[in-house]
Amino acid sequence: MVVPELRPWRAARPHVTRAAGAVRPRLARAAQAVRPRLARAATAAKPRVVRLARAVSPQAARIARPKTWQYTAGAATAGLALAAGVVTAAGPWDSTGQRTAERDRAVAQERTGGADHGRNTDTSDSSGSSDSSDSSGTTAEGPRPAPSAASVLTGLGGGTSTVKSAPNGKALADLMGPLLDAPELGSQLSAAVVDVASGKRLYGEGGAEALTPASTTKIATAAAALAALGPDHRLTTRAALEPDTKELVLVGGGDPTLTARKEADGWASLRDLADRTAEALKKRDVRQVTLSYDKTLYAGPERHPIGKNPNLAPVSALMVDEGRTDDSTSGTAARVPDPAKDAAAKFADLLADRGIKTTAPGPSKATNRAEPLAEVSSPPLSALVERMLTNSDNDIAEALARQTAVASGARADFDGAGKAIGDRLEKLGLPVAGSDFKDGSGLNRADRLTADLLTALLAKAADPAHPQLRPILTGLPVAGFTGTLTTRYTDGAAGIVRAKTGTLTGVNALAGTAVDQDGHLFAFAFLATGTTNRDAAQSALDRTATALASCGCG
């Protein structure tokens, strides 16, 4: 079966220019040098644009930032955002450090280097003054630094295409077949590889067979949410005052990234909302209120079918810090049993600190007559999608699934969200036959996707006709650098493969993009079921993706 041919993406070819075989040794060495910094960056929470003074030249810093969907197609899809030229390209720098890591990677390659780093003030890249200055203010002349190596990857807009020919499906099959035949990959396999430039499937092994996708489901969730809402959509939490009863209602807008921490780092802040609400109440000479909370945007059961689990809080339209009971921002953690009640209690404490007394909060629903007092909004949806994919964030995934249902006019519960996701993908012209969405995160073992759907979806996100889907590609973890791939691909595939992982007991999956030695950009998806050793299966999938990136399949 061949997936529907997508709109040709000829414009991508000039941006995947440098042959991988020539750059991999240097890329691997550079990766080892900067990986500790990038791992730290990947856990940071900074959705705003990170200060460019540490990253790029003054000229680059002057470049204006367009709207979030206006990404340069080459960077978004070819995995070349590790190059210095890509650092100056627009796009969300999300809280997970996805863009921070790419920026630091590029800076590491742009610095002047050699045997005398930073000693000569004419060439130092440090922000402070040189320690070689004497008390008279003169600077000792030190040896000039050795010349730095050229950037490993070609920046955007530079060079001419070195793609030699259309990729050869037979050569690809000869390469992939034995690797995907590994016993570590269990009893069932759905695999596909698509040439992104043409949208044609080059390799398939059970590609149309629907299997449990685990967290690769999040790729589909992201596509549906972006298609339904747009990448610039924001989720708003507000406080409203009922005119008759003087009841203050905290109204949840479904933002799982709302935070009560002192340092919000660009996410919507419950403290800011308390500041503005208290100020508005005092202007009305109100110092005491009945506090309620409204979580009615979502419907149905809050608890995921897997039950109480540290991977996911109850799905609520009102929560702070994903209901976590510790200071973590990703990964597993104990969760509060009622996120909305917890958020309202924290809001009450913050109001008390600002001179507003409240009753113990209880559930309610804001009326149409409620007077808006204050609101805070999330970063754009593109940033939420990137954080979700990079960190495999289940709470954001379930929130985006519900938001898709709301935007589609469906009931905002697990069933309605699943149907809304499928409907949105079908409207995009994707091969949804056999797929079944029971949630947005992939934690439900009853979810079903095909490798054909995942690869077609990734190719669609690369199509210039669908710029709203670009955050799917920019959010994919970068091999050896960010998110769930930070500690994987320590060989020459670091920085070349971008992929979403998926792991459940007996299930291992990997879906993403890779650039081969001839400059071809591939979208791939591997779904394995019946695996008995998680780590062995994961390694087998990594070897396959690495081989794809090393292929000269022209």
Q: Which of 124, 392, 441, 550 is catalytic?
A: 392
Question: Phi-psi region for residue 519, left (φ > 0), alpha (ψ -120 to 50) or beta?
Answer: left
Residue 310 vs residues 111, 302, 417: alpha-carbon distances, Å: 42, 15, 22
Q: Going by C-beta distance under 8 Å and a sequence separation of 6 or more, which residues neighbour residue 58?
A: none
**Helical ranges in 89-191 per DSSP H:** 98-110, 169-180
Show Cβ contacts of residue 83 under 8 Å, excluding neighbours closer than 6 positions.
75, 106, 109, 151, 152, 153, 154, 155, 156
Number of neighbouring beta carbons within 10 Å of residue 28: 20
What does each C-alpha distance from 75 to 14, 96, 171 come to in angstroms? 11, 18, 27
Sign of CA dihedral 59, 64, 69, 72: negative
The strand pair at 497-504 and 288-294 is best described as: unpaired
The C-alpha atoms of residue 216 and residue 503 are separated, in whole angstroms, by 9
Contacts of 551 (CB under 8 A, 6+ apart): 171, 172, 175, 516, 517, 518
C-alpha span between 509 and 102 (Å, rounded): 24
DSSP alpha helix (H) spans, 58-112: 58-61, 73-78, 84-87, 98-110
Tokens of 426: 């079908």
Residue 392 annotated to the active site: yes
Q: Which of 46, 218, 346, 438 is catalytic?
A: 218
Write the DSSP assignment of 336-401 as a string of letters.
Answer: -S-HHHHHHHHHHHHHHHTT-EEPPPEE----TTPEEEEEEEPSPHHHHHHHHHHHT-HHHHHHHH
Q: In the annotation, is 283 catalytic?
A: no
Say how far apart CA 231 and CA 145 lie, in whole Å.
44
Return d(Cα 162, Cα 289) in angstroms, integer.
68
DSSP state for residue 324 in the 8-state scheme: B
The one catalytic residue in 95, 124, 215, 435 is: 215
Q: CA dist 191 to 125, 178, 211, 247, 386, Å?
A: 46, 13, 10, 56, 24
Q: How many CB atoms lie within 10 A of CB 93?
A: 24
Contacts of 548 (CB under 8 A, 6+ apart): 172, 175, 176, 193, 497, 514, 516, 522, 524
| Residue 328 annotated to the active site | no
- 221/392 Cα distance (integer angstroms): 12
What tokens were used for 228?
């339904």
Burial 349-371 (b: 16+ CB within 10 A, else e): ebbeebebebeebeebebeeebe
Distance of CA 551 to the CA centre of its chain: 27
Q: Which residues are catalytic?
A: 215, 218, 392
